[in-house]
Amino acid sequence: MYSLNVRDHFMIAHSFTGEVFGPAQRLHGATYVVDATFRREALDADGLVVDIGLASQQLSAILATMNYQNLDDHPEFEDQNTTTEFLAHQIHLRLADAIERGKLGPSGKGLAALCVTLHESHVAWASYEADL
Amino acid sequence: MYSLNVRDHFMIAHSFTGEVFGPAQRLHGATYVVDATFRREALDADGLVVDIGLASQQLSAILATMNYQNLDDHPEFEDQNTTTEFLAHQIHLRLADAIERGKLGPSGKGLAALCVTLHESHVAWASYEADL
Amino acid sequence: MYSLNVRDHFMIAHSFTGEVFGPAQRLHGATYVVDATFRREALDADGLVVDIGLASQQLSAILATMNYQNLDDHPEFEDQNTTTEFLAHQIHLRLADAIERGKLGPSGKGLAALCVTLHESHVAWASYEADL
Amino acid sequence: MYSLNVRDHFMIAHSFTGEVFGPAQRLHGATYVVDATFRREALDADGLVVDIGLASQQLSAILATMNYQNLDDHPEFEDQNTTTEFLAHQIHLRLADAIERGKLGPSGKGLAALCVTLHESHVAWASYEADL
Amino acid sequence: MYSLNVRDHFMIAHSFTGEVFGPAQRLHGATYVVDATFRREALDADGLVVDIGLASQQLSAILATMNYQNLDDHPEFEDQNTTTEFLAHQIHLRLADAIERGKLGPSGKGLAALCVTLHESHVAWASYEADL
Amino acid sequence: MYSLNVRDHFMIAHSFTGEVFGPAQRLHGATYVVDATFRREALDADGLVVDIGLASQQLSAILATMNYQNLDDHPEFEDQNTTTEFLAHQIHLRLADAIERGKLGPSGKGLAALCVTLHESHVAWASYEADL
């Protein structure tokens, strides 16, 4: 299995609901350094997993819908704890949708799986991986 | 599959038995930077893989039983080469046991798998992964 | 010149005032991974730049006064853009004050300089350095 | 499953053929920081995944056949786009062959899988993983 | 003294002249991950060392004049060994010139010093620092 | 000022004397990832700060005198706490001596300063810098 990874980041505010979150129930924020890892069984005709330029653009466009925002006010995340693992899944859904709509080019449709990882500090990260 | 990772470290002395180890047969030591990666299929009711606070505490408590020690004198490792890969397994066993005893909270019992990685330098690391 | 560095992190929300900030004028947030670098000309009697345990505790205590907060509501930062470089200076002031009050032990008073660095992503960081 | 990773690097020139590559059609180059990750189900009699010294030597020897070269002139890569993912596969083939020829020692034959990752910058990497 | 750092990268081919370079006399290449560190004594009216958006754009524009090129053919580097340390100086010269021409905004003119660092692998980097 | 950095590592056992060290008074160990940073005002005739091959060899040779050892038994460190900052100084002394003896080549004698940094974990490092 081949994998190709591109990295970007976004910066948001949010708060969490539930005693398990302790002080993180207060409004605070995070930088998320995001890795999008694209997998496929065989390379395409150009010798690529995916067009890295298109992959970077799509990841950046998806992060731009959340970047420099308070996720507590984001219409799509109402009544949701926007935890690191939840956000990894959300970005996965949006990237998978972009792949299906052909935004990563024709050979993007040959991708087998996608993993999205969000690094929230030097000691913690979360990811979501699923087949496409 | 969702994953959540927490990082900590410990510092030990040890020596190895066997010609394959060359100069590492002498008493020396290592800093191990440890990643514990918890996996589950679906998030719990709070939107979490696991309570990251409890996960960090349990990892730290397990590392404390080895930290600042000479592992050659550790009663549980008698006649064992405490290689990086062996130690990754040992920490995996102890974390898996803590999960089973409920030390990571009720939703910790929904975890599917665990990977423990020990970074021993900027050029070498080892890990052990198994289902829970 | 000797230097000793300890690392920790904190997570905050804030917004900026001024057209130069573009979308960062909106309420957003950041993870800051913080390096506190202590410098002195000669080691103390124990062979140390500073007691690393006390240094880590003081840094953590200072970060706790901002961690999981919206800095827009922080009484000490009214009418201030809490930029990365501004926050590096603020943490420097608080650590320098702790050193002067003896919180890093008697040999902490022999420190010559302090640098505080805040990493805000994998591509940007800021620092403030000054003699003590 | 146990894993053991060793890291090395090599520096090459190359160019790509195909409009998808844009400016990378010109002769340019890259530093590839290479991770070779060896996997096996159970440790060998010494408590090892593989002899890390032999693993490092073999990886280094394989990289030496490409290091400080223009891959456009490399006889084995004629009419090939030597993309990061293609090179990950090539190094995988060569390491798998070395394992089969016993170059990683007798216990190297017990390895279950191998992953080769090439980091081409702080924001992009590619890998190839397959069973042995 | 305040510092602010932005990071980017470029990928080039080149060769070196002189026996000291050994195999690096052959045509090969490198990825350079570049840190540009801007320093000033006091923050500007917005609380900034420099406009990070303009700084990133200027760095990217300068790297674009070398990116995806064979530096052996670059008109400005004729008869020059384009070593890592030489290139750090060249990028420093170009960034300092951009600052003087006002490309980093009016407050860019208040900058005191600039350091440019090129990381060529996980084990080697070079930098050039000078007052502005 | 130009700087060039090379990285290597070594692994040792040791213990400390003095209550300030708490549990680190016990025999334990560390991996030290070492950065040796060489500085000079102007590049040599080849466009170099120093011959990076010779620099790496000398650093490796110096680390080999301590690697895989218990520093409590090392004849040169009797009655010394081999703290990270102390060891940074010791390696600085040995590298400075090698430079003076011409081990880094004739142009090594033009070096202006040297900084040696020892990373002991992902959260702590120490260094010693002095003119040559």
The answer to whether residue F12 scores a pLDDT higher than 90 is: yes
pLDDT digits (tens, 9 = 90+) for C79-118: 999 999 999 999 999 999 999 999 999 889 899 999 999 9
> Is residue A97 in a domain?
yes
User: Within a domain: residue D88?
Assistant: yes
**Could you tell me if C66 and C35 are in contact, meaning their C-beta atoms sit under 8 angstroms apart?**
no
pLDDT tens per residue, range A25-47: 999 999 999 999 999 999 999 99
- Cβ atoms D112, D96 nearer than 8 A: no
Does residue F24 lie within any of the structural domains? no
B121/B75 Cα distance (integer angstroms)? 26
Give domain status of residue C61, yes or no: yes
Asked if the structure places residue E24 within a domain, the reply is no
Chains D and A touch (3+ CB pairs under 8 A): yes
* Tokens encoding D81: 């786009």
| Dihedral of alpha carbons C59, C62, C63, C68, sign | positive
Interface contact E6, partner C, CB < 8 A? yes
Task: Give residue-wise pLDDT tens across range D37-69.
Answer: 999 999 999 999 999 999 999 999 999 999 999
Q: Residue C60, Cβ neighbours under 10 Å: how many?
A: 15
Q: Is residue B72 a part of any domain in this protein? A: yes
Task: Please report whether residue F34 resides in a domain.
Answer: no
Handedness of CA D80, D84, D85, D87 (dihedral sign): positive
Mean pLDDT of A47-68: 98
Position A98, amino acid = A
Amino acid at C131: D
CATH number where C89 lies:
3.30.479.10
pLDDT of residue C111: 98
Query: What 8-state DSSP symbol labels residue E76?
Result: G
Extended beta strands in E41-99, E state: 69-70
ipTM: 0.96
Chain B partners of A89 at a C-beta cutoff of 8 Å? 2, 43
Strand, coil or helix: C77: helix
Q: Helices (H), strands (E): how many in chain B?
A: 2, 5
CB contact under 8 A, B68 and F31: no
User: How far is C14 from chain E, CA to nearest CA, in Å?
Assistant: 14
Write the DSSP symbol of residue B78.
T
DSSP symbols for D35-102: EEEEEESS--TTS-SS-HHHHHHHHHHHHHTTTTEEGGG-GGGTT----HHHHHHHHHHHHHHHHHTT
Q: Kindly give, in sequence order, each residue whose CB lies less than 8 Å from that of residue F130, ignoring residues fewer than 6 positions away.
A: C1, F92, F96, F113, F114
In a domain, C35, yes or no: no
Report the domain count for chain C. 1
Put simply, whether F81 touches C (Cβ < 8 Å) is yes
The rounded distance, in Å, linking the Cα atoms of C32 and A119 is: 12
Domain span holding position A101: 2-18+42-131
Query: Which tens digit of pLDDT belongs to each residue from E24-63?
Result: 999 999 999 999 999 999 999 999 999 999 999 999 999 9
Q: Report the alpha-carbon distance of residue F123 to residue D58 in Å, rounded.
A: 32
Alpha helix (H) residue ranges in C1-132: 52-64, 84-100
Using a threshold of 3 CB pairs under 8 A, tell whether chains B and C touch: no
Is there a contact between B1 and A128 if contact means CB atoms under 8 Å apart? Answer: yes
Using an 8 Å Cβ cutoff, are F32 and F84 in contact?
yes
pLDDT, one tens digit per residue, over F29-41 is 999 999 999 999 9
Residues A94 and A59: their CA atoms lie apart, in Å, by 9
Q: What pLDDT shows up at residue C109? A: 87
Q: What share of chain C is helix, strand, coil (3-state, %, to 5)?
A: 35, 35, 30
Mean pLDDT value of segment A77-105: 97
Classify the C-alpha dihedral F15-F19-F21-F22 as positive or negative. Answer: positive
Q: Which residues of D50-68 are buried (b: 16+ CB within 10 A; e: fewer)?
A: bbbebbbebbeebbeebbb
Q: How far apart are CA B22 and CA A30, in angstroms?
A: 46
Question: Which residues of chain E lie closer than 8 angstroms to C82, CB-CB?
Answer: 47
For E76-119, the pLDDT digits (tens) are: 999 999 999 999 999 999 999 999 999 999 889 899 999 999 99
Q: Which residues of F touch E131 (CB under 8 A)?
A: none
Which chain F positions have a beta carbon within 8 Å of A123's beta carbon? 122
